[in-house]
Amino acid sequence: QVQLVESGGGSVQAGGSLNLSCAASGLTSGSTCLGWFRQAPGNKREAVASISTGGGSTYYADSVKGRFAISRDNAKNTLYLYLQMNSLKPEDTSMYYCAARRLCSVAITSPSLYNYWGQGTQVTVSS
């Protein structure tokens, strides 16, 4: 059974940092792509960052380039996905979700291509 569990969200002031984590169990590290998405009320879910199977290829939304860093740890039984978020802005306020796709090798950005989703973790940035 596949399960994705996010943690690390919270409330910070603008300019602050947060580190999101996602534990993905039930997946094979050698063929699973991972990504972070966010969705604010009334908005579409958008890709924030994604990472290929081996971590060699990454994608960042223009709005977060230079501030966010995605990484992964391909442990034996559980995959770990991280998102280090620095220099946070009020516009980064959103629910953040991690996502996984099986039988994949590259960094992908379309939400429709991911098979599994976590429940989300709220990030709130105040000015």
pLDDT tens digit string along 50-101? 999 888 899 999 999 999 999 999 877 889 999 999 999 999 999 999 999 9
Look at residue 116 and tell me whether its pLDDT is greater than 80.
Answer: yes
User: What integer is the mean pLDDT of 9-32?
Assistant: 93
Asked whether residue 30 carries a pLDDT value surpassing 80, the answer given is no
Mean pLDDT value of segment 4-18? 98
Flag whether pLDDT at 111 surpasses 90.
Answer: yes
Q: Determine the pLDDT at residue 75.
A: 77
Length of the chain: 127
Sign of the CA dihedral running 106, 107, 113, 114: positive
Q: Which tens digits make up the pLDDT trace of 94-108?
A: 999 999 998 888 889
- Sign of the CA dihedral 120, 94, 32, 115? positive
DSSP letters for 97-120: EEEEEES--S----GGG--EE---
C-beta separation of 69 from 83 below 8 A: yes
